[in-house]
Amino acid sequence: MGVTYHRNDFVDDAAATISVRAKAFNYGLGCFGGVRGYWDEKQGELHVFRLADHVERLFESAHILGLVPTVSQDDVARILCELLRRNDAREDHYIRPLFFVDSDELSPTLTDVPTSLSIYCLPLGRYFKSESIDLCVSSWRRVADNAIPARAKPTGAYLNSALARAEAKRNGFDDAVVLTESGEVSEASAAHLFMVRRGELVSPPSTADNLEGITRRSILELAVAAPLNLKVVERRISRTELYVADEVFLSGTAAEVTPVASIDRRRIGTGKVGPATAAIAARFRDVARGGDPAYASWLTPVWGRETKRSVAAS
């Protein structure tokens, strides 16, 4: 039995419940974050990756939805680290903080309602079990930002992701590429997409109805710096351009850097992990596990002396 933070207290997982009448359950009224903790065996330390940025985005999501949290960003960061300690987290972990509308009334409203916080965690290694994956282009389109805010992470919006991924799975693929209403590449079902073509690392901008991804932002920053020194372009990508890409990979908190072998049964490049993808994955892994002091500010240690530092400092 693990420990979850739920409604202002640390409780056993089984006690972290809501009513069947809850607005959050009936209408998906809430928002969440996805955070990774990376275990470093040599240091005996669990590093939470870009904790401050994840917490800030969680609060931005709440602000976009009009939710009013009763805790501060510092509070959420401290609770998250304490939750990992209470679960004796000494391996790679995934952590999910959620703000949800904590009301059992009938109507689907986001105004004049209490907002509660829950955070749970679980051990998580590789999200996709294969080294590289096969994708299809989904018949489901990405929900437009003016319909359900893509810049936030609203819980209800992930029905769109679930439909796309379920369609892909039924047709023998690992995941799906989802297009915008105008027919351009947005992202995968729940991960960002990068393409390598003609010597450039290309990614759709965050204005293409996709999330402002923290892992995506990290990869963009690492890619242009030494030792990678890649040329990076953020622009629109068409569906057929993916078919002739040299390399494609997905990125995200759960997906990390996941190579793509094929899309719609078209082999990508050689069909194997490409050199740029391999280099980016290795660089990201090294930084996330504390291997480069230049990026120490991206990591919050759970077991070390610096655990109590503020979110702003992390």
Residues known to be catalytic? 153
**Residue 278 dihedral angles phi and psi, to the nearest 5°:** -60, -40
Give CA 29 to chain center in angstroms.
Answer: 19
The CA distance from 252 to 73, in Å, is: 22
Contacting residues for 233 by C-beta, under 8 A, at least 6 apart: 200, 201, 202, 203
Which tokens sit at 308? 């109590």
Contacting residues for 121 by C-beta, under 8 A, at least 6 apart: 2, 37, 83, 84, 87, 89, 93, 94, 95, 96
- Please state, as a whole number, how many other Cβ atoms lie within 10 Å of the Cβ of residue 42: 8
Direct distance between the N- and C-terminal alpha carbons of the chain, in angstroms, rounded to an integer: 30
- Please state, as a whole number, how many other Cβ atoms lie within 10 Å of the Cβ of residue 146: 8
Residues forming beta bridges with residue 95, ordered by sequence position: 35, 121
The CA distance from 286 to 301, in Å, is: 15
Q: Go through 151-161 and write b for each residue having 16 or more CB atoms within 10 A of its CB, e for each that does not.
A: bbbbbbbbebb
Query: Which SS3 state, helix, strand or coil, does residue 115 take?
Result: strand
Running DSSP on this structure, what letter comes out for residue 154?
Answer: B
